[in-house]
Amino acid sequence: MDHDHTHTHAHGAGAEMHSQELVEHEVAPNAKSLTTFAVLAVLALLALFIGFSNLGEWKVVANLLVATVQACILAFFFMDLRQADKLTWLIALSSVFWTFLMFLFILTDQLTRHLGVL
């Protein structure tokens, strides 16, 4: 790579800002990522175990609960929400809120229709 003046200057400024950002942004050690992965893998095994069991109508409830826990762990640790700023949290939670509204208004209509017409 070339090392002209602009390049070096930008790199120097970048490195300074970068170290500033790293002070605020803790870099999780690989061991922590491996632990997160292990927890997610165990939860995936649990989901399969539930899927292969005979829980009847509770199966989907239990499995969705496991999936929700998995999604939270993934977002919190792998997607680094754990150290995100408030605005990022607001954006992430807004997706849950808008999805909730979509489910609420569509399902209140769909699931209260007279089933005899189906």
Chain residues that interact with another protein, rule: CB under 8 A: 1, 4, 6-7, 9-11, 13-15, 17-18, 20-22, 27-30, 33-34, 36-37, 40-41, 44, 47-48, 50-52, 54, 57, 59-60, 63-64, 66-67, 70-71, 74-75, 78-80, 84, 87-88, 91-92, 94-96, 98-99, 102-103, 106-107, 110-111, 115, 118
Rg value, the chain, Cα: 23
Name the one residue in this structure whose structure tokens are 């942004």. 25
CB 31 to another protein: min, Å: 11
Name the one residue in this structure whose structure tokens are 């997610």. 40
CB 75 to another protein: min, Å: 7
CB 62 to another protein: min, Å: 9
CB 63 to another protein: min, Å: 3
Kindly write down the DSSP assignment for every residue of 6-74, as one continuous string: HHHHHHHHHHHHHHHHHHHS----HHHHHHHHHHHHHHHHHHHHHHTS--TTHHHHHHHHHHHHHHHHI
